[in-house]
Amino acid sequence: MDSIGSGEILVIAVVALLAIDPKTAGRWWGRMRGLFGQLQQARAALEREMRTAAEPASVEPGESPQARLRSWSKRRVDELGQTEFDQAGARMLGRLREWEPYRTAEHVSAFCSIRLEVPTWSVLAGILADGKTIWLPRTTTEPGRMEMVRVSNLETELQKGRWGLLEPSGPAEPVPEGILVLVPGEVFDLHGGRIGKGGGYYDRWLADHPGAIAVGTAWDRQVHPGRLPQTGTDRPMTHLLTPERFVHFAPENEKGSGGSAPGETVEDPNA
């Protein structure tokens, strides 16, 4: 038998009420029509949102696909409320603490979040409280290049950098092999793709440190459902952390050895 739509259900309900009490049916008819209209509006809004997410509008003349995707991400983050900002850091820190590679890690690189980025201050404090060595990035005079600096005190060892952003003030040092790195970005996908702000700082740094474990760190609203455009210099993420979920991308060398194929993902079951 064909499925019954919401319109048919509405008619059936009204007919049943008429058989019981015409006056009550009249009152319920008005209420149900209003509810039906609200449901239709909500459904239309959801369909518009899904179309926008899956198929971003065509690129304006002179605007790159990356720029268009950054605008898409910003609009979505702009819609977040204060509650989401207040809870994001604790939720991400909780997911990290349940992850074995984090629990066993001695060194973690993170970043000082800025406006609209997923807040990391409670994450930074939590990493230090967990007894780990934390490393923060600092831009250099060479365009598109950055270095990592150890930080043990977030209140005394940070200062404003060239663009007014907080950066560590201590000396740069070589980071340990296999360091776990929380990587900011503007847009991510579920295949390890990332679009940053356009400076290439993290892409260059990760290329120089191929053993680093790159954990994209962002709002869930910054995760695009399709594949992002990537170039040969874009470095893929091995994991993706948001306040809502922790996604682990299967490495290439697991194919044919009992693991997931490249491009497949495994999400944190507690997400």
Do 87 and 12 lie in one domain? The reply is no
Sorting pLDDT into bands at 50, 70 and 90, what band is 44? very low
Backbone angles phi, psi at 177, to 5 degrees: -65, 140
CATH at residue 156: 3.40.50.10420
Task: Provide the greatest CA pair distance for the chain.
Answer: 83
Residue with tokens 């992850």, as numbered in its chain? 99
* 64 domain-assigned: no
Do 109 and 31 lie in one domain? The reply is no
* 79 domain-assigned: yes
Contact 205, 137 (CB under 8 A): yes
Contact 212, 206 (CB under 8 A): yes
Q: Bin 132: left if φ > 0, else alpha if -120 < ψ < 50, else beta.
A: beta
* 42 domain-assigned: yes
Average pLDDT (153-176) is 91
The two structure tokens encoding residue 240: 């993706």
Do 115 and 158 lie in one domain? The reply is yes
Do 50 and 75 lie in one domain? The reply is no
Q: Name the residue among 214, 222, 266 with its Cα closest to residue 243.
A: 222
pLDDT, tens only, 102-129:
999 999 999 999 989 999 999 999 999 9
Q: Which range has the worst mean pLDDT, 52-56, 85-89, 133-137? A: 52-56
* 65 domain-assigned: no
Give the helix ranges, DSSP H, for the chain: 6-20, 22-54, 65-78, 82-97, 100-104, 121-129, 201-208
pLDDT, tens only, 183-230:
999 999 999 999 999 999 999 999 999 999 999 999 999 999 999 999
CA angle 256, 262, 265 (to 5 degrees): 115
For 51-62, b where at least 16 C-beta lie within 10 A, e where not — what string?
Answer: eeeeeeeeeeee
Contact 143, 216 (CB under 8 A): no
* 172 domain-assigned: yes
* 230 domain-assigned: yes
Do 226 and 103 lie in one domain? The reply is yes
Range of the domain at 29: 6-55
Q: How far is the C-alpha of 14 from the C-alpha of 8, rounded, in Å?
A: 10
pLDDT, tens only, 8-21:
544 455 445 455 56
Task: State pTM to two decimals.
Answer: 0.73
Summary mean pLDDT of the chain: 81
- pLDDT, position 162: 75
Count, residues in the chain: 271
Do 140 and 51 lie in one domain? The reply is no
* 66 domain-assigned: no
Instruction: Kindly list the strands in the beta sheet with 265-267, ordered across the sheet, starting from the edge strand earlier in the chain.
Output: 146-151, 133-139, 107-109, 180-183, 213-217, 239-241, 246-249, 265-267
* 1 domain-assigned: no
